[in-house]
């Protein structure tokens, strides 16, 4: 089952990459540009076949993919019959269409998946029973999966009410990752027909922005929404994820938020673990990943898609081409940002793999 979940997670990521690159590919073909190569993953090349003027390949390194269009570098030497179809020989609007088509595919896919998830699959409703207990949190040594929460501090209610009561226990002073609340919470559970009470001190989770005991509620039955409400829910989640992704560069500055950035390894592992627990949830996860991929790619820095769009717009405004050397120098900023995000995410992923894990139910 572990091997199957790994394969399905890999297939999900591959699908996102393929659709992104297909967006560039189809748009380039549609506006008449010459596509030299379409590659899923990066070299060394494992498989290659040429059809017409385009080489189709599969690389060994599963870290993305690319579409090579003739003339992406203005100084590239090209035969006369190719030069007129080169990227930089095309009007600005054509270049923007080709570059924007990749992120556009991911945006459309994200919206469709989010809508399909809530309209056809349905979100899980909560229950008052303990589901997964997270390592490294106060609940780990006390609560057990299957325990039914009865009350917190003598207060009864649904899971939302009980969670709010736990979160009412604040850290003294400024809340920081892992700080303990000033007072413990008295948690009463029904365990196999017998009520038992425990005093547990909540700790602050900067992702949830509240104090927690470190457990999730077991899922209840799934509930779908009507068509109109599904559209509203999808638009709301679409904007929420977009805003969170746009805040990513700012999160690099904050030491607490920086610890929550997840890299490729963490995203893959989260998807794999989710497949093991509930494959239906993967639809929502892939939607979020697809949306985040699109937004990050639209950041206005080379080598990201947004960087190419930015410089194409600059050219349109100034009414003459921007020297490639200028774009190269400016691209260093974008390259450093991408590498920094990758390294921070990878470092955090390694820490979670060797420590508390990814907290996937």
- Reply yes or no on whether 21 is catalytic: yes
Q: How many angstroms separate the CA atoms of 318 and 301, rounded?
A: 19
> Torsion angle of alpha carbons 348, 350, 353, 354, nearest 10°?
-110
Query: Do residues 230 and 237 make contact, with C-beta atoms less than 8 angstroms apart?
Result: no
Given the residues 21, 124, 134, 269, select the one marked as catalytic.
21
Q: Which of 69, 44, 40 lies closest to 57, judged by CA?
A: 40
Please compute, for residue 185, the number of CA atoms within 13 A of its CA located in the half-sphere on the CB side. Answer: 29
Q: How far is CA 121 from CA 116, 118, 173, 279, 282, in A?
A: 7, 6, 43, 11, 11
Query: Do residues 159 and 149 make contact, with C-beta atoms less than 8 angstroms apart?
Result: yes
Q: How many angstroms separate the CA atoms of 249 and 261, rounded?
A: 10
Q: How far is CA 166 from CA 62, 187, 350, in A?
A: 43, 9, 30
Backbone phi, then psi, for 264, in 5-degree steps?
-60, -45
Instruction: Sort strands 215-223 and 210-212 into parallel, antiparallel or unpaired.
Output: unpaired
Q: How many angstroms separate the CA atoms of 4 and 13, rounded?
A: 14
Which tokens hold the place of 224?
Answer: 């779908």
Extended strands (E) in the chain: 35-51, 54-69, 123-133, 148-152, 185-191, 194-200, 203-205, 210-212, 215-223
Backbone phi, then psi, for 126, in 5-degree steps?
-80, 160
Write out the catalytic residue numbers: 21
């Amino acid at each position: 089952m572990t091997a199957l979940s790994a394969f399905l997670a890999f297939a999900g990521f591959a699908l996102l990459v393929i659709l992104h690159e297909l967006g560039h590919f189809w748009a380039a073909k549609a506006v008449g540009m010459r596509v030299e190569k379409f590659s899923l993953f990066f070299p060394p090349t494992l498989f290659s076949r040429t059809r017409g003027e385009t080489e189709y390949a599969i690389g060994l390194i599963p870290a993305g993919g690319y579409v090579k269009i003739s003339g992406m570098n203005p100084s590239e030497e090209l035969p006369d019959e190719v030069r007129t179809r080169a990227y930089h020989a095309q009007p600005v609007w054509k270049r923007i269409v080709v570059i924007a088509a990749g992120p556009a595919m991911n945006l459309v896919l994200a919206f469709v998946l989010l809508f399909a998830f809530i309209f056809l699959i349905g979100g899980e409703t909560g229950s008052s029973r303990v589901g997964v207990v997270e390592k490294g949190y106060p609940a780990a040594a006390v609560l057990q999966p299957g325990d039914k929460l009865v009350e917190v501090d003598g207060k009864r209610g649904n899971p939302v009410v009980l969670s709010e009561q736990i979160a009412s226990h604040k850290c003294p002073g400024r809340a920081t990752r892992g700080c303990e609340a000033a007072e413990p919470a008295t948690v009463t559970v029904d365990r196999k027909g017998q009520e038992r009470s425990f005093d547990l001190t909540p700790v602050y989770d900067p992702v949830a922005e509240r104090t927690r005991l470190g457990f999730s509620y077991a899922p209840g039955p799934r509930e779908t929404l009507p068509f109109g409400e599904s559209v509203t829910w999808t638009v709301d989640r679409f904007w929420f994820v977009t805003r969170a992704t746009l805040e990513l560069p700012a999160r690099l500055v904050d030491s607490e938020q920086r610890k929550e950035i997840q890299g490729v390894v963490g995203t893959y592992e989260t998807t794999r673990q989710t497949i093991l627990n509930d494959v239906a949830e993967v639809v929502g996860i892939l939607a979020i990943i697809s949306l985040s991929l699109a937004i990050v790619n639209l950041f206005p820095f080379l080598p990201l898609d947004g960087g190419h769009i930015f410089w194409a717009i600059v050219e349109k405004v100034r009414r003459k081409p921007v020297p490639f050397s200028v774009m190269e120098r400016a691209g260093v900023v974008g390259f450093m940002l991408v590498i920094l995000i990758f390294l921070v995410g990878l470092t955090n992923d390694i820490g979670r793999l060797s420590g508390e894990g990814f907290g996937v139910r």
